[in-house]
Amino acid sequence: MRGLYVDNPLSRDQLKDWEKSYLEKFSAKMSDKANPFPCIPAVIGFKQNQLIYSFIGDPRKSSTVADLAVALSGYMKVAKDIGNYTSLIVFYETPDDMKKRFSTEEYEKLFWKHLSELNAYDRFEWPEDIPSNPHDPLWEFCYSKEKYFMYCATPAHKHRKSRHFDGMMLAITPRWVLEEFNKHSKFAKGIRKQIRKRLITYDSAPIHHDLNSYGLEDNFEWRQYFLRDDDTSLSKCPYHRILKNLKFDT
Q: What is the Cα–Cα distance from 154 to 166, expressed in whole angstroms?
A: 7
The yes-or-no verdict on residue 76 having pLDDT over 70 is yes
Percent of the chain with pLDDT over 70: 93
Percent of the chain with pLDDT over 90: 74
pLDDT of residue 188: 87
Q: What is the Cα–Cα distance from 184 to 195, expressed in whole angstroms?
A: 16
pLDDT of residue 2: 64
How far, in whole angstroms, is CA 223 from its chain's centroid? Answer: 13
Q: Give the CA radius of gyration of the chain.
A: 17
The H-or-E segment that residue 198 falls in is helix 185-202
Region 67-91: mean pLDDT is 97
Q: What is the Cα–Cα distance from 87 to 177, expressed in whole angstroms?
A: 8
First CA to last CA distance, the chain: 29
Q: What is the Cα–Cα distance from 143 to 34, expressed in whole angstroms?
A: 37
Q: What is the Cα–Cα distance from 44 to 188, expressed in whole angstroms?
A: 13
| Cβ–Cβ under 8 Å, residues 124 and 144 | yes
Average pLDDT of the chain is: 91
Q: Mean pLDDT lowest for which of 90-99, 160-169, 197-206, 210-219? A: 210-219
The H-or-E segment that residue 148 falls in is strand 146-153
Q: What is the Cα–Cα distance from 107 to 117, expressed in whole angstroms?
A: 15
| Cβ–Cβ under 8 Å, residues 223 and 233 | yes
Q: What is the pTM of this model?
A: 0.93
SS3 53: strand
The yes-or-no verdict on residue 87 having pLDDT over 90 is yes
